[in-house]
Each structure stands twice: as C-alpha cells, then as structure tokens.
Amino acid sequence: MTSVLAFDLGASSGRALIGTLQGRHLVVEEIHRFANEPVQVGNRLHWDILRLYHSLKQGILKAKHLGYTPASIGIDSWAVDYGLLDSSGELLGNPYHYRDTRTDGVMEQVLSLLPREEIFQHTGIQFLPFNTLYQLVAEKQHNPQRLAQAQHLLMIPDLLRYFLTGEIKSEFTNATTTQLYNPALGDWDPHLLTKLGLPRHLFAEIVQPGTIVGRLQAPICAELEVPSVPVIAVAEHDTGSAVAAIPADNDDFVYLICGTWSLLGTEIRDALTHEQVLQENFTNEGGVDGTYRLLKNIMGLWIVQECRSHWEKRGVTLSFEQMVQEASSASGFVSFIDPDHLMFLHPSDMPALVQAYCSQTGQPVPQERGEILRCVFESLALKYRYVYERIEALSGKRFSGMHMAGGGIHNRLLCQFTANALSRPVWAGPSEASAIGNILVQYRTLGQIAGIGEARQIVRESFPLETYVPEEQGQWTEAYKRFLQVTGLGKR
C-alpha cells in the first residue's frame, strides 16, 4: 500500500500525517505534532520559519522511524504571509505574522490611491487589512532596503517547499489570496503591481494543485538518510485543501471550515466580481481543478483561543472542553459581539475586549468566564447565519444545510448552536479536513484517484459524519434579530 506524507500547518501548531489508501478506505495517522508559536521581537511579530522547517525534517524522520517510505510529500498552511529571498536564494529575515501591526492603516492608504472597485475587479478578493498586498506596501514603507534586495517572494508553504527542493514556484490557491492575482488573466496582475510600485520579478510562476515541484534535495536526503521523493504542490492554502475534503455528494454545497479562522462559502467554477460581491466583501479564492471558493473570512475561534491565553497568564489553565462546559452552564442570549470587529484582530486582553464591545453597544456586560464564552459562541453561530444567507443570495441557490469541518467541530456546543442559528441541519466532519485534502491531492497526482469527485466519495466512506438537527428555532430567530441590531449588521 502506497503512503504519502502531509504537513498541515496552522496558526498555533503543525502536524505531520501519513495517509494510506486501502482500496476505497483512507487511513490517516498523525505521527508528529509541533508548536507554531509566533515570536515578538520589539514591536514586530514574526513566524519562526526555520523552526517550522526543522519540524518538517523531524516529521520526515518520524515517518522513516515508523517504517514508512512515503511516495510523495505535500504542505498546506495559512495564507497571505510570505518570505523574501535575495539573488543567491538566501532568506531575507523571518516572515512577518499577519497579525503584526505594521499594516494598521495601510489598506486605507492604498484605497485612497486606488478605488476599491478597481482592486476588486482585478482580483475578486475580500478586503482584509493583512492581505499580502497591504503587507508589501507596509514593507515598502518600513523596510525599503529589504524589498529592494529581494529577488523572489514565496508564500509560506512555497517557501518551505523551496527549502526542501530548491525549486521556486507559486501555488495557485495561495497565490489567489494575495489580492495581487487576476483570475481573468490567470496570472499576477500587472496593473496593480505597476500602480503600487511592486517589482514583477518577485512573483514566481504559478502552478496548479497537484503539480510535482521538485524532489527532496540531496543534502536533506544525506542528512536524514532518506530517499529523494517528489514534493507535490497540493492545494497549499489550508482552506483549499479542506474544501477538497468536504464529503458533499453533489456540486452545490455550503461549507464552514472552523478553526482559528472560520471560512464559510461555496465552490464555484468562475470568480464572481460583480458589485454585490464587492459590497458584501466576499472573496474568490482558488480551489482544486481551477475552481474558486466564494467565501467570507470570519474571525472564528481566535477570540476563544485568546481568552484562554489571557486566563492562562493569570494562572487559570482551562481545556477547551472545560471552556465549553462553562459556556453551556451560562445563561443564553444575554449579549452579542460582531466577531469580525477589528478590535478583536490583534493579540490582546480578549475577555476585556468582549466586555468593552458589550458595554459600548449598551448590552449587559458578561463578567464570568462562562458568560464571556457563551457570548462568543452564540455570536459566532449568528454570524454564520448572516454569512450563510448572503452566500445563498450571491450564488442564487438555496442550500439544504451546511457541511462543517476542521478542528472546531470538536466543539459540539458550537456545532449545535450553528444548526440552531441556521434552522438547517449541520453535517460535521471530518475534523482533519485540511490534512485529508492534502493527502487526496497527492494520491490524485500519483494516479491512484481519478478526480475530486472520487476523492470526496472516499472521504464519505472513510470518516464518520455527525448530524446536528436545529433546536429552539424560535428563540434563535429572535436572538438573530437582536444580534443584527446590536452589531449594526442589520443596517447594511
């Protein structure tokens, strides 16, 4: 049986997983888990990219020690962040973290030079202050010497793949997230690059998911005592990989990839760049087989993770299960937040920010941990309904329910709240969607899977789904009305 090695990197941790296809059944085994902790240096926030690369090598070693000889390797990660290489291929400093404050106010500066409509027509991408476009403008302002030295820009999985292979290529799904890719041209947008004064030579050739981009370099093979195997550019944006693993049985489905971020959308054949999509600030990110993911980024469980971090610094260690239990015990429908308010973007005293939002909007201020968490979980579910309704309006389709995948589905309370808020069933699973999609794209490249339809069928047959049926629909409908009112979303 052929096995493949997948690296799935999230905003707080990474994993190495072995996938083994046994007939029509996929077995996934996590063999290595490692922290991915951002590093604060002065006022700047960075990724520890060399530690991540070291962890990849440790994952390759773990596979060898466990007796696996993977036929290929693939990497997926978060989007928008990048590394710069000089003319000799050396890395010019640690990549910045997308939550670094250097981009504060930059999007507004760019929009004073280029109309929002013009940027959207060229890219179809949601306006977020940390998009690669604004990071590069910030780079030009704060570190022009480094940008002048740079010869190549590589997104995080492109960069790690380069360390493994020595090959410089940009992968499609991650390239689309930069807000510098033009879906009509199928390439980097020359107009925006010229207008912003960004050098075209930085941007590498774009390859589609499933492209073999080099093999493990000889020095790595010698160091680790492993054979040189192909490294495949999978759907390297983790959401792109996760959507490839959604176990839908037809082409019309809505998904919610739930983790640090929540990504809610549907799969379409061509990017939608008309006025209504712009007004709703939706995005068109690349998918497998040249598809696009019409979706909305929602702040997600980041708020909960930051609350936990804040309490841990004060000596209170809580598991996620304990936090869910405390939320379950608190009274419902007391106060709401808009999870996407920019006040929640940066690392901070998140419980205090939740309280401040409630105070500023004239609502009861949650005091206990359970009350704060209940407020966040209910608000997330209600924001999911808000975005779900807009997906239906933009796509012109009515969906029968929603597929929910990613690590967030372990939070059964949030899954049930989501079904309640939508008044539609929620089908939860698989939790390891990004890694599974990564693995399946590798198998397709190796010729063992015919296409994405067969891949999704394998997911249905290999991983259980849990169905959540809507409850308390009248209470949730009333809560949604209040949520729209206090957040101001009802006025948009």
Nearest in space to 47 (alpha carbons), one of 106, 98, 103: 98
* pLDDT one-digit tens code per residue, 182-193: 999 999 999 999
Within 8 A by CB and 6+ apart from 273, the residues are 120, 121, 124, 183, 284
CA-to-CA distance for 31 and 65, rounded, in angstroms?
10
Mean per-residue pLDDT for 451-467?
96
Domain 3-238 is in which class? alpha beta
pLDDT at position 157 is: 98
CA distances from 31 to 7, 43, 70, 219 (A): 10, 35, 13, 23
CA-to-CA distance for 385 and 418, rounded, in angstroms?
8
* pLDDT one-digit tens code per residue, 33-87: 999 999 999 999 999 999 999 999 999 999 999 999 999 999 999 999 999 999 9
pLDDT at position 275 is: 95
Q: What angle do CA 156, 402, 340 make, to 5 degrees?
A: 55
* pLDDT one-digit tens code per residue, 109-122: 999 999 999 999 99
**Structure-block tokens of residue 164:** 């493994």
Given pLDDT bands bounded at 50, 70 and 90, which one contains residue 491? confident
Within 8 A by CB and 6+ apart from 60, the residues are 5, 16, 73, 216, 220, 224, 226
Contact indicator for 479, 379 with CB cutoff of 8 Å: no
pLDDT at position 1 is: 77
- The DSSP code sequence of 137-203 is HHHHHH-HHHHHH--EEEEHHHHHHHHHH----EEHHHHHTTS-EETTTTEE-HHHHHHHT--GGGB
Mean per-residue pLDDT for 437-447?
98
pLDDT at position 350 is: 98
* pLDDT one-digit tens code per residue, 7-32: 999 988 999 999 999 989 999 999 99
Mean pLDDT of the chain: 97
* pLDDT one-digit tens code per residue, 193-251: 999 999 999 999 999 999 999 999 999 999 999 999 999 999 999 999 999 999 999 99
Residues present in the chain in total:
492
Contact indicator for 49, 95 with CB cutoff of 8 Å: yes
Strand order in the sheet with 402-405: 283-286, 292-298, 262-268, 254-258, 402-405, 426-428, 466-468
Contact indicator for 84, 15 with CB cutoff of 8 Å: no
**Same fold flag, 3-238 and 246-429+450-492:** yes
Nearest in space to 309 (alpha carbons), one of 336, 349, 345: 349
Contact indicator for 293, 241 with CB cutoff of 8 Å: no
Residue 258 pLDDT greater than 90, yes or no: yes
Contact indicator for 210, 443 with CB cutoff of 8 Å: no
Residue 492 pLDDT greater than 90, yes or no: no
Query: 180 — alpha (psi -120 to 50), left (phi > 0) or beta?
Result: alpha
- Residues with a known catalytic role: 238
CA-to-CA distance for 334 and 337, rounded, in angstroms?
11
pTM above 0.85, yes or no: yes
Amino acid at 447: G
Domains of the chain, by residue range, sit at: 3-238, 246-429+450-492
Mean per-residue pLDDT for 397-412?
97
* pLDDT one-digit tens code per residue, 126-182: 999 999 999 999 999 999 999 999 999 999 999 999 999 999 999 999 999 999 999
Percent residues over pLDDT 70 in the chain: 100
CATH fold of 246-429+450-492: Nucleotidyltransferase; domain 5 (3.30.420)
pLDDT at position 217 is: 98
Mean per-residue pLDDT for 345-361?
97
